[in-house]
Amino acid sequence: MPTKPHVVVIGAGCFGGWTAWSLLRAGARVSLLDAWGPGNSRATSGGETRIIRGIYGPNSPYTEMTARALPLWRKYEKEWKRPMLTRTGVLWMASSGEDSFERGSIQMLRRAKLKFDELPARELKKRWPQINFDGVQWGIFEHDAGYLFARIICQLVVEKFISEGGEYRQVAVRPEELESGSWKALALEDGSTLAGDRYVFACGPWMGKLFPKTIGDRIRPTKQDVFFFGVPSAESHLDDRHLPIWAEHRDRFRYGIPGNQGRGFKIADDTRGPTFDPTNGERVVNPDGLRAMREYLALRFPAMKDAPLVETRVCQYEQTPDNHFIVDRHPVAENVWLLGGGSGHGFKHGPVVGEMMTELVLKEKEPKPYFRLARFPQPAKALTTHSVAAQSKAHPRMASW
């Protein structure tokens, strides 16, 4: 490899942006390309906020990754003098008999030295009288957790990347021939070509389309509806000054971010939706989902009964069959790295992913086995609606975000 290798990163979302910037800081020459811009409305990193939390259930490597990510977010916040992380804590509401996810997380939090409280129902009621804790037996409060400004961060990372000498272009890479691995340069939508020594494809939910044989249905874009409701008044104690981020498994996995910057009380259902086309899909929420959200809100946050819907968003998860990221070389092109499959929980790990990719690409290290393509016993297939439905059943208790 040349002493200053030229790495081309395709996709300026959370994974690609942090990767490009970290490679640049490590001394590479880096070109970063994105079809619609960092944090655009189609991208999985688009939108206002993403949660950072350490609870991931038993035996998950992502708790340790969060413990590594938290100080990095703080470090860059200081270095760049721009707010990125709002620390609200995350409250997990648990019911006995259905709490293996929370119980299994406690040991992991301890091991990762992430600060938390285990709280009985009476303490929950005392601390957060705005919440109706009916059916909740206990909870965990994660102190250092909070939310990240998603789109703003993606744009900031690219801004930093450019200011430190990186080359950024808003242009799409043409998908034809990519899978063959035998191309000598990328063909771009504007008719030009771009050659590098190494390539990192970080195209989120588009990865399966760009690499139909290697990725295909191993990364499935699933439609996820997000709702924002208006809080009754500034004194209602339902914004992020008074309430933490919260999550509950119960019959379905629901979570919420209480009104950042006056945007309303954000709430979403983590259940995987139908297959979604990230390029042409119309971003309109499902009315049944809205009805179900209203019912849930009225139960858990009584002051939010009849609250008006002030905003909606449709995003897509980039779901792998086992919820692990995909980080590996293309099987026939040693200098092509595939990075994606954040599976609805990747954003918080951006700076750690950047560090990891720098080691892999520049120092030619090997990815962890749970990230590698070899973990999939079956060859990749084209996406179908049926396969997505089967997958969401297989992971009923998966906490993505």
Binding interface with ligand FAD (CB under 6 A): 10-16, 33-36, 40, 43-45, 50-51, 172-173, 202-206, 224, 226, 268, 315-318, 340, 342, 344-348, 401
Residue 157, token pair as written in the block: 């990372």
Question: Minimum distance from CB of 234 to ligand FAD (Å)?
Answer: 25
- Best CA proximity match to 131, nearest among 303, 301, 266: 301
Rank residues 34 and 99 by Cβ distance to ligand FAD and give the closer one.
Answer: 34
**Coil/strand/helix, residue 251:** coil
Name the phi and psi angles at 258, rounded to 5.
-70, 125
- Best CA proximity match to 255, nearest among 401, 102, 103: 401
Element of type H or E holding 51: strand 49-52
Question: Minimum distance from CB of 96 to ligand FAD (Å)?
Answer: 26
Rank residues 31 and 297 by Cβ distance to ligand FAD and give the closer one.
Answer: 31
Rank residues 340 and 351 by Cβ distance to ligand FAD and give the closer one.
Answer: 340
Rank residues 14 and 194 by Cβ distance to ligand FAD and give the closer one.
Answer: 14
- Rounded to whole angstroms, the Cα distance separating 360 from 334 reads 12
Residue located via tokens 């009621």: 125
CA dihedral 114→66→53→71, nearest 10 degrees, is: 70
Question: Minimum distance from CB of 169 to ligand FAD (Å)?
Answer: 9
Question: Minimum distance from CB of 210 to ligand FAD (Å)?
Answer: 6
Question: Minimum distance from CB of 86 to ligand FAD (Å)?
Answer: 13
Rank residues 276 and 303 by Cβ distance to ligand FAD and give the closer one.
Answer: 276
> Which DSSP string corresponds to 319-343?
E-TTS--EEEEETTEEEEEEEE--T
Residue located via tokens 């995909």: 326
Rank residues 53 and 235 by Cβ distance to ligand FAD and give the closer one.
Answer: 53
Name the phi and psi angles at 154, rounded to 5.
-60, -40
CB of 92 within 8 A of CB of 140? yes
Question: Minimum distance from CB of 344 to ligand FAD (Å)?
Answer: 5
With the C-alpha atoms ordered 181, 187, 188, 189, is the resulting torsion angle positive or negative?
negative
Rank residues 134 and 282 by Cβ distance to ligand FAD and give the closer one.
Answer: 282
Work out the number of other CB atoms within 10 angstroms of the CB of residue 300.
Answer: 22
> Which DSSP string corresponds to 10-42?
E--SHHHHHHHHHHHHTT-EEEEEESS-TT-TT
Question: Minimum distance from CB of 273 to ligand FAD (Å)?
Answer: 10
Work out the number of other CB atoms within 10 angstroms of the CB of residue 264.
Answer: 22
Rank residues 28 and 145 by Cβ distance to ligand FAD and give the closer one.
Answer: 145
Question: Minimum distance from CB of 204 to ligand FAD (Å)?
Answer: 2
Rank residues 231 and 271 by Cβ distance to ligand FAD and give the closer one.
Answer: 271
Question: Minimum distance from CB of 377 to ligand FAD (Å)?
Answer: 24
Residue located via tokens 């006995």: 96
